[in-house]
Amino acid sequence: MDNIELIRKAKKEGEDDDGDDEEAPQTGSNKRARTQGGRITKGEDFWGKVDSFFVEMIDAHGRSLVGSRWKE
């Protein structure tokens, strides 16, 4: 509501302001369809993947991050 000019710019050219369009009213079909519901499963989220990455790296290179195997 603070930037009425942005709302006016968003309207398509040639669209009337009086609302007497001959087209059928919108039924809400432009809403985003839900692709996934609920929480992300444990291990599939970002931090779960980071944890599994570091577990693999620690197994391969050891626990000491300043060791020679980590520098390679």
- Give the model's confidence band at 55: pLDDT under 50 very low, under 70 low, under 90 confident, else very high: very high
Task: Quote the mean pLDDT of the chain.
Answer: 75
The C-alpha atoms of residue 52 and residue 45 are separated, in whole angstroms, by: 11
Q: Which comes out higher in pLDDT, residue 31 or 57?
A: 57
**Sole residue written with tokens 């609302």:** 19
- pTM for this structure? 0.42
pLDDT tens per residue, range 13-46: 456 555 555 565 666 667 777 776 778 787 788 9
Paired tokens of 52: 């599994």
Domain residue ranges of the chain, discontinuous segments joined by +? 40-72
Paired tokens of 61: 């290179």
Farthest-apart Cα atoms in the chain, separation: 75
The C-alpha atoms of residue 65 and residue 32 are separated, in whole angstroms, by: 45
